[in-house]
Chains A and B, each alone.
Chain A
Amino acid sequence: MGTSIAAVLVMILNRNIFYGALALLICLISLAGIYALLQAEFLAITQLLIYAGGVLVLLIFGIMLTNKISGKPVLTDSHNWFSGIIISTSLLGVLLFSFQQNEIMSAQSNLNATRHINNIGIELMSTYAAPFELSGVLLLVCLIGAALTASSFKKKTNG
């Protein structure tokens, strides 16, 4: 958990965008480790595969493609960081308050072994079948949309 917080701080405070992407990679891998410790192994592997192996590679591709070759790195700056700090600390206060209400940090609760990937597969096809199919449609639509948006059409003129 400490690695993820440190990686996020590096990502936010760094002005070079490529270092931010690498820090996000470390953060996602550490989040996968946290999920594995919270007995969500399927989600941990899914996070590693999809986020660290898919989204981040796509992001780094985008950063490399939109980089000018003049040798100067792309620098980013944040202008309204003050309101961001106010909003995030208030959210942190709300979450800490709810943790104190519910006695969250008891480490030995719910160590039953009913969270196998078999159950996930069965429930995904029976109870959660509608979001499953809808996410398939969503993925198809986003695939077509992204491919169409990023391509450039050259209009052929007749004659």
Chain B
Amino acid sequence: MILMGIELMLNAANLNLVLFNFQKTGMEGQFFALFVIIVAVCEAAVGIAIILKTYHYYHTSAIDQISDLKERP
């Protein structure tokens, strides 16, 4: 769920870049958006690897149920 939110935010930034590229001359916005897509793909891959390892350890994928570091009152 967290990963999907991160993808959403990166896509929102991409949309802003392409929109402002449409208004100005030149193509820098499209190149920036292309590199943003590449970086987002990399961090999505690493994030999914992390989630798989966390599931292997904690046997749950809902992040709210992982509360080992929560302080006890």
Contacts and interface: CB of A to CB of B under 8 A. Distances in A.
Given A43-B33, A46-B37, A50-B41, A58 B1 contact: no
Main secondary structure of the interface of A (DSSP, over half): helix
Main secondary structure of the interface of B (DSSP, over half): helix
Interface residues of B, number: 46
Interface string B31-72: 101110111111111101111110110011110100000000
Contacts of A143: 45
Contacts, number: 141
A69 interface: no
A146 B48 contact: yes
B27 A149 contact: no
Interface in A65-113: 65-68, 74-77, 79, 95, 102, 104, 106, 109-110, 112
Interface of B: 1, 3-4, 7-8, 11, 14-16, 18-19, 21-25, 27, 29-31, 33-35, 37-46, 48-53, 55-56, 59-62, 64
